[in-house]
Amino acid sequence: MGCGKEFPTSKPSALLSADPPHALKKMSVLLLIFLGVITGGIYYGFWFLRARKAVNDLETPEKLENFSPIFSIVMYATAVLSYILTGFFEETRDFEAAEGFEIIGDSTAIIGYIFIIISAFKVRRILDDHFNRHLKQGVTFSGVMTFFFSPLYLQYKINRLDD
């Protein structure tokens, strides 16, 4: 507007660099698997919370809310606690209580996974909208891979965005 400066254009590499405070962060998929395993799946909800600001900064009207990731964390934490209590009650030979806690653990783990999948598909839609509709990059995001590998697949795709 008369000042002689050009407006910067959006580039995918700019969204992945260390300069923006909320850039999409690269992370080893093996590290993500490790953290998911040692936390009983709890870390996957944290992954979505960690990525939330950067994902929501992308040029798309859809945004990732806090509810699904936080709810999945609560469900996975409940499952882990239930499995610990299952082991405790099996050791004390209270098999009825152990079976009850095992059912609670299985149920809450399934519910947690459902909310991870909900978050994963929302992030997939956001990434697809930003990189394909807004930036016209032609990046493919597989629905099948998103379903089966959720944050692992999304992190893999994020790691490859500026390659």
pLDDT tier, 4 (very low <50, low <70, confident <90, very high otherwise) = low
Instruction: Spell out the residues 6+ positions from residue 66 whose beta carbon is closer than 8 angstroms to its own.
Output: 49, 52
Q: Which tens digit of pLDDT belongs to each residue from 91-120?
A: 999 999 999 999 999 999 999 999 999 999
pLDDT at 162: 73
pLDDT at 160: 92
3-state secondary structure 66-101: CHHHHHHHHHHHHHHHHHHHHHHHHHCCCHHHHHHH
Q: What pTM was estimated for this model as a whole?
A: 0.81
Q: Which tens digit of pLDDT belongs to each residue from 138-155?
A: 899 999 999 999 999 999
Task: Measure CA of the first residue to CA of the last residue in the chain; give whole Å.
Answer: 35
pLDDT at 58: 93
Mean pLDDT along residues 78-93: 96
Mean pLDDT along residues 76-101: 96
